[in-house]
Amino acid sequence: MASYATADEYTSYVEDGTVDWTTTSAPNLEKLLAAAERDVDRYLRPYWPMIEGTTLLFGSPKTTNEQGLTAAQGAALSRITCARAEYRALKGAVFFAEDERSSVSGPDFNVSGKLDKVGPKVRDELRDSGLLTARRRGIRATA
């Protein structure tokens, strides 16, 4: 079960944007949010200590709040997760599983550069989140 963002938060986030969003599968949405959480953890791991006994960098921010996030940071973490899940949904699983070449040429075309694997909205949410400040590294024990 996703911890950083709820299905309702995700639905609200994408409905406020430009994407038409509907889902008929709550389990698939949970998988999408869980995958987005793992991605967000990778982005923020350099800035936050890992919590002993948890599998997620921020544990359960909506309940036990092991990292002591402020309300604004918790809301930002939810938005970052929603933005990442939206990008995963838009691009599809294959996009994130396959590597791209920096340039591709054919008889009638030439393409260079790689597509963004993080996502523009994710970068915006991360920048504005207040979660990119350096914290003490190491493992934080839970009480």
123: phi then psi, degrees, rounded to nearest 5 = -60, -40
* Cα–Cα distance for residue pair 68/64, rounded to 1 Å: 9
For position 20, what pLDDT does the model report?
A: 66
For position 116, what pLDDT does the model report?
A: 78
- Answer left, alpha or beta for residue 76, where phi above 0 means left and psi between -120 and 50 means alpha: alpha
Q: What is the pLDDT of residues 66-122, one digit of tens each?
A: 999 999 999 999 999 999 999 999 888 888 777 766 667 778 877 776 777 889 999
* Cα–Cα distance for residue pair 123/140, rounded to 1 Å: 27
* Cα–Cα distance for residue pair 35/51, rounded to 1 Å: 19
Cβ neighbours of residue 110 closer than 8 Å, sequence gap 6 or more: 103, 104
For position 15, what pLDDT does the model report?
A: 84
- Classify each residue of 109-143 as buried b or exposed e, where b means 16 or more C-beta atoms within 10 Å of its C-beta: eeeeeeeeeebebbeebbeebebeeeeeeeebeee
As a whole number, mean pLDDT of residues 121-140 equals 79
Q: What is the pLDDT of residues 1-31, one digit of tens each?
A: 889 999 999 999 998 766 666 777 899 999 9
49 CA to centre of own chain: 18
Cβ neighbours of residue 12 closer than 8 Å, sequence gap 6 or more: none
pTM of the model: 0.83
Confidence at 38, pLDDT banded by 50, 70, 90: very high
As a whole number, mean pLDDT of residues 56-67 equals 94
Per DSSP, what are the bridge partners of residue 110? 105
For position 21, what pLDDT does the model report?
A: 66
Between 44 and 105, residue with greater pLDDT: 44
